[in-house]
Amino acid sequence: MVAMAPAVSREKIAARINSIKYGAPADLSPKLDHLRRLREELMAADSLLVVELVSPLLDLLSDRLSPVRKFTTRMIGEIGLKHLQLLPEIIPALVNVLKDDTPAVARQAISCGFDIFRYSLVNVAIQGLYSSEFDDSLRSSWAWVSKFRDEICSMAFKEESEGRKLPALKFVESIVLLYTPDPNGSLEPPSDKNFQGNFEEFNVSWLRGGHPLLNVRDLSAEASQSLGLLLDQLRSPSLKSHSYLVIIVLIKSLSAVARKRPAFYGRILPVLLGLDPSSSVTSVSKGMHLAGVHHALKNAFESCLNCTHPGAAPSLWRDRLVNALKEIKVGKSVAQAANDMPENNGRTEWTRDSDISQILEDEKPSIKSLMEHGNTGRKRTGGLVTVDATEDDNSGKRARSTPGDLDGPGNERNQGQDRVPSSGTTPFSDVDSGPVQQLVAMFAALVAQGEKAAASLEILISSISADLLAEVVMANIWNFPPERLKSEGDEEPLTSAAAHTEMQNLEEEPPVTLAGGNVAHDDLSNTREHTAVPASESVCSGDISYPMETGYAVITSEVTDIEGRENEIPGLSSATEGDGLTENMDTIPKGSVHSDDANQEKSSNLGGISIETDRTPTELAQSLSTDRSEELSPKAATTDVSSLNSSTATSVGLASQLVLPKIGAPVIHLADEQKDQLQQLAFVRIVDAYKHVAVAGGSQVRLSVLAHTGLEFPSELDPWKSLQAHVLSDYVNHEGHELTSRVLYRLFGEAEEDRDFFISATAKSVYEAFLLQVAETLRDSFPASDKSLSRLLGEAPYLPKSVFEMLECLCSPSAGAISEKELPGGDRVTQGLSAIWSLILLRPPIRDACLQIALKSAVHQLEEVRMKAIRLVANKLYPLSTISGRIEDFAKDMLLSVVTDDGISTKEANELQKDENPSSENQPGSSATKEIPPDGHHMTASESSSSFTVVEVQRCMALYFALCTKKHSLFRQIFYAYKDTSKVAKQVVHQQIPLLVRTIGPSSDLLDILSDPPIGSEGLAIQVVNTLTDGTVPSPNLVSTIKRLYDTKLKDIDILVPVLPFLSKDEVSVLFPHLVNVPLDKFQVVLPRLLQGFNHSTPVLTPAEALIAIHKIDPEKDGITDACNACFEQRHTFSQQVLAKVLNQLVEQIPLPFLFMRTVLQAIGAFPSLIWKNPRQWVGFVKCAHVTMPDSFGVLLQLPAAQLENSLNRIPALKAPLVEHASQPNIRSTLPRSTLTVLGLEQELPTSTTQPNQSQTQTEEADNSEKTAATEKSKESM
Amino acid sequence: MGRPVLDNETWHFKLKSLREEISELSDRSEMKLRHAMVCSSNQNRSMEAHWLLKREGFDVASYGTGQHVKLPGPSLREPNVYDFGTPYKQMFDDLRRKDPELYRRNGILPMLKRNLSVKTAPQRWQENAADGTFDVVLTFEEKVFDMVLEDLHNRKHVLLKPVLVINLEVKDNHEEAAIGGRLALQLCQEIEAAGNWEECVDDLIMNFERQNHRKLVYSISYY
Q: B160 and A170: CB-CB below 8 Å? A: yes
**Rg over CA atoms, chain B:** 18
**pLDDT tier at B125 (50, 70, 90 boundaries)?**
very high
Q: Which of B28, B143, B215 sits opposite A29 (nearest CB)?
A: B28
Q: Which of A192, A341, A424 sits opposite B66 (nearest CB)?
A: A424
**pLDDT tier at A1151 (50, 70, 90 boundaries)?**
low
Q: What is the mean pLDDT of chain A?
A: 64
Q: B76 and A715: CB-CB below 8 Å? A: yes
Name, of A529-538, A802-811, A1122-1131, the range with top average pLDDT: A802-811
Tell me which H or E stretch contains B37: strand B34-39
Query: Higher pLDDT residue, A848 or A191?
Result: A848
Q: What is the mean pLDDT of residues A953-967?
A: 76
Instruction: Say if CB A553 and CB A496 are below 8 A apart.
Output: no
Condensed to tens digits (0 to 9), the pLDDT of residues A973-1001 reads 777 777 767 777 777 777 777 777 777 77
Q: How many CB atoms lie within 10 A of CB A658?
A: 18
Residue A171's pLDDT is what?
Answer: 86
3-state secondary structure of A159: coil
CA–chain centroid gap for A86, Å, is 72
Strand partners, A1258: none
Q: Which of A285, A531, A758 sits opposite B72 (nearest CB)?
A: A758
Condensed to tens digits (0 to 9), the pLDDT of residues A656-676 reads 445 555 545 556 677 777 877
Cα separation, A484 vs A478, whole angstroms: 13
Task: Name which of A110, A390, A425, A752 to mutate to probe chain B: the one with the most chain B Cβ atoms within 10 A of its Cβ.
Answer: A425
Residue of A nearest to B40 (CA): A425
- Beta carbons within 8 Å of A920's beta carbon, 6+ residues apart: A892, A913, A973
Cα separation, A604 vs A609, whole angstroms: 10
Omega before A1190 within 30 of 0, i.e. cis: yes
Which pairing describes strands B69-71 and B80-82: parallel, antiparallel, or unpaired? Answer: antiparallel
Q: Which of A110, A200, A759 sits opposite B156 (nearest CB)?
A: A200
| Position B80 pLDDT exceeds 80 | yes
| Position A405 pLDDT exceeds 60 | no
**Contact with chain B for residue A162, Cβ under 8 A:** yes
* A residues 417-446 lying closer than 8 A (beta carbon) to B: 422-427
Least Cα distance to A1269 among A1146, A1124, A1144 occurs for A1124
* A residues 581-600 lying closer than 8 A (beta carbon) to B: none
Cα separation, A572 vs A472, whole angstroms: 10
Residue A815's pLDDT is what?
Answer: 55
Least Cα distance to A815 among A987, A651, A938 occurs for A938
Condensed to tens digits (0 to 9), the pLDDT of residues A693-747 reads 666 666 677 777 777 777 776 666 667 777 777 777 777 766 777 777 777 887 7
Amino acid at A519: V
Helices A1004-1011, A971-978: inter-axial angle, 10-degree rounding: 30
Residue A1230's pLDDT is what?
Answer: 73
Least Cα distance to A427 among A767, A756, A673 occurs for A756
Q: Tell me which DSSP letter residue A282 carries.
A: S
Q: How many CB atoms lie within 10 A of CB A1052?
A: 16
Q: What is the mean pLDDT of residues A1006-1011?
A: 72
Q: How many CB atoms lie within 10 A of CB A78?
A: 18
Condensed to tens digits (0 to 9), the pLDDT of residues A351-380 reads 333 333 344 444 444 444 444 443 433 333
Cα separation, A1151 vs A1156, whole angstroms: 10
Q: What is the largest CA-CA distance in chain A?
A: 188
DSSP A593-620: TTS-HHHHHHHHHHHHHHHHHHH-HHHH
Q: Which of A167, A200, A252 sits opposite B160 (nearest CB)?
A: A167
C-alpha torsion angle, residues A683, A687, A693, A697 (rounded to 10): 100
3-state secondary structure of A316: helix
Which residue blocks in A479-576 are alpha helix, DSSP H?
Answer: 491-504, 509-529, 535-545, 553-575
Residue A997's pLDDT is what?
Answer: 74
Residue B86's pLDDT is what?
Answer: 92
- The region, left, alpha or beta by phi > 0 then psi within -120 to 50, assigned to residue A698 is left
What's the complex ipTM? Answer: 0.75
Q: What is the mean pLDDT of residues B156-181?
A: 86
Amino acid at B142: E
**pLDDT tier at A1100 (50, 70, 90 boundaries)?**
low
Condensed to tens digits (0 to 9), the pLDDT of residues A516-551 reads 334 434 444 443 444 333 433 333 333 343 333 333
> How many angstroms away from the CA of A132 is the closest CA of chain B?
24
Q: A426 and B219: CB-CB below 8 Å? A: no
Q: How many CB atoms lie within 10 A of CB A279?
A: 8
**Contact with chain B for residue A390, Cβ under 8 A:** no
**Contact with chain B for residue A761, Cβ under 8 A:** yes
Residue A265's pLDDT is what?
Answer: 80
Strand partners, B168: B216
Residues of chain A with Cβ-Cβ distance to B173 below 8 Å are 754, 756-757, 760
Instruction: Say if CB A112 and CB A76 are below 8 A apart.
Output: yes
Instruction: Say if CB A90 and CB A79 are below 8 A apart.
Output: yes
Q: What is the mean pLDDT of residues A147-171?
A: 82
> How many angstroms away from the CA of B50 is the closest CA of chain A?
20
Residue A1180's pLDDT is what?
Answer: 72
